[in-house]
Amino acid sequence: MIDGFRCASCGAFVGLDAVAPWRCPNENGDRRHVLLRMERADVGDPLVSADGDEANPFIRFRRLMAWHAFALAHGMSDAETVQLVRDTNDGFHTTPVTRSSSLSDELGFGPTGGVWVKDETGNVGGSQKARHLMSILLHLRVAESLGLVSWTEPTRPSLAISSCGNAAIAAATLAHAAKWPLDVFIPEWASGLTVSSLESLGARINRCPRRAGDPPGDPTVLRFREAVAKGAIPFSVQGPENALCLDGGRTFGWELGESLGGEGIDAVDALFVQVGGGAFAAAVSRGARETGLRAPLFAVQTEGCAPLARAWSSARDDEVMARHWSEHMRAWESEPRSLADGILDDETYDWVADVIELRTTGGRVVVAREHNVIRASLMAPSISGIDVSPTGAAGLAGLMECRSHIDDDARVVVAFSGVRRD
C-alpha cells in the first residue's frame, strides 16, 4: 500500500488522510510543484492485497489505492468501501491481455515471441481514461458520505475537465452515473460525435477560443484552470492537476502484470504506450513494475507533436528535473497534427513521471512517423479484430517504427485504448 504523495519539485509530503490532495501545498499556480511519487509503506508484492475473485479493479485492488486508505483513515469500514464502488460505478472490469497471433504474424515475429495486446476498448467510456478519473470520484464520494466536505449532493461543486476526446467521454460517463455536474472545456472548433455524446450525457460544454493576451499553451487548459480557481473540482487525467488520477491508472498495469504472470511471463522486451498528456504511460509502467513485471517503457508520440521526446533528450540525466521544468518541457511550437489526434497535447503534462519510468525501466521515447500512425490505424482493427481508434492504436505505430531493431523472438506488449467512434 502507499502512505502518501511526495512533490517531485520541493519534497513536500501529503498524507492519504488529507481531503482533496490534488496538488502540492507549495504550488504557486504554475503546476510545476507536482505530487508524483507515491511513497510505499511496505516493499512487498502489492498484489498480496488483491481480491482475486473480483473483476472490478477498484474493488479488486482497493487496498492498494489512495481513495481506500483515505476512507479507512476516516472511519469507513472495508465493506462500506466495496459498496461505495458498486454504487458509484460497477461497470469496470478486468480487460484482456492476449497474444495476437495475427499481429505477431503480420509483423514477422517468431512463435516464441510476438505481440501481446491489452484491450481497453470495452471498459467504461471506451478507453483507460475512466480508470484515472474513477479514483478521483471515489475520493469525493468518500469525503461527501463521511461529511468531510461542506457540500452535499444537491449542492455539489462542478467537476471540470479540458478535453474533446476519450477523457471527456469518460468524465461525462462517470459524472452522469454519479449525478454530478460537469463542465467540459473543449476547443472552439470541436464538433461531431464526441460533442453530441457529451451533450447527451448532460455535460456543460464550454468552447474555448484563444483570447488576446493568453499565454502559450492550450486555451482549454487555461479556461479549465480558471474554473478550478473559482471552485470547480479538477476532474483531470493530468497528474499536475490532480495527483489521484495516477493512482487509478495503475490498475491497468497491475492487471497486465497479473495476466502475464499467470502465463509464466515475468519480463517483456518492450511495453508500448501512447503519450499525450503522459499520465497513462507513467501509471501503467509504475503499476506493471509493482507486480514484478520487467517491462521497458516505450513511450510513443507522433512526429506532429513530440514534446516528451525533446524533454527526454535533455532531462534524462537531470536528477532535479522538476525544478528545471522550463529547460526541458515547453509547449510544442508548431500546430500539432496527426491522425492520432487524441495525443496531440502540446505539452506532456506528466513528463516528470514519464521520465522517472523511462529511467527506471530502461525505456525510450519513440516518435512515430505519420505513415506508421496511418498504417497502425488500419492494421489494428483489420488484423486484430479490435475496433480501436487511431489514437488508441498509436502504441502499435510505435512498434512499427522500431520493429527493425526488435528481435523476432522478442515479447512486446501494446496497449489498445480508445474505441473507434466514427
Residue 2 pLDDT exceeds 70: no
pLDDT, position 70? 95
Domain ranges, ordered by start, for the chain: 97-126+244-416
Q: Determine what percent of the chain is predicted with pLDDT higher than 90.
A: 79
pLDDT, position 302? 97
| Range picked from 1-5, 97-101, 334-338 for highest mean pLDDT | 97-101
Distance CA 365, CA 249 (A): 20
pLDDT, position 192? 79
Q: Please state the rounded mean pLDDT for residues 95-122.
A: 96
pLDDT, position 212? 87
Read off the pTM. 0.93
Q: Residues, the chain, total?
A: 422
Q: Band of the pLDDT at 103, cuts 50, 70, 90?
A: very high
pLDDT, position 270? 98
Domain 97-126+244-416 has CATH 3.50.50.60: no
Closest CA to 98 of 112, 79, 118: 118
pLDDT tens digits along 207-247: 988 888 888 778 888 999 999 999 999 999 999 999 999 99
* Lookup: cell for 326: 522550463
Residue 333 pLDDT exceeds 70: yes
pLDDT, position 40? 59
Q: How far is CA 74 from CA 20, 58, 69, 233, 248, in A?
A: 13, 19, 9, 21, 20
Least confident of 3-7, 117-121, 242-246, 257-261: 3-7
Q: Band of the pLDDT at 200, cuts 50, 70, 90?
A: very high
pLDDT, position 397? 98
Q: Band of the pLDDT at 153, cuts 50, 70, 90?
A: confident
Distance CA 393, CA 372 (A): 10
Residue 334 pLDDT exceeds 90: no
pLDDT tens digits along 290-323: 999 999 999 999 999 999 999 999 999 999 999 9
SS3 assignment for the chain: CEEEEEECCCCCEEECCCCCCCCCCCCCCCCCCCEEEEEECCCCCHHHHCCCCCCCHHHHCHHHCHHHHHHHHCCCCHHHHHHHHHHHCCCCCCCCEEECHHHHHHCCCCCCCEEEEEECCCCHHHCCHHHHHHHHHHHHHHHHHCCCCCCCHHHCCCEEEECCCHHHHHHHHHHHHHCCCEEEEEECCCCCHHHHHHHHCCCEEEEECCCCCCCCCCHHHHHHHHHHHCCCEECCCCCCCCCHHHHHHHHHHHHHHHHHHHCCCCECCEEEEECCCCHHHHHHHHHHHHCCCECCEEEEEECCECHHHHHHHHHCCCCCHHHHHHHHCCCCCCCCCCCCHHHCCCCCCCHHHHHHHHHHHCCEEEEECHHHHHHHHHHHHHHHCCCECCCCCHHHHHHHHHHHHCCCCCEEEEEECCECCC
Q: Band of the pLDDT at 44, cuts 50, 70, 90?
A: very low
Q: Please state the rounded mean pLDDT for residues 132-140.
A: 97
CA dihedral 292, 293, 294, 300 (to 10 degrees): -130
* Mean of all residue pLDDT scores within the chain: 92
Residue 162 pLDDT exceeds 80: yes
Residue 348 pLDDT exceeds 90: yes
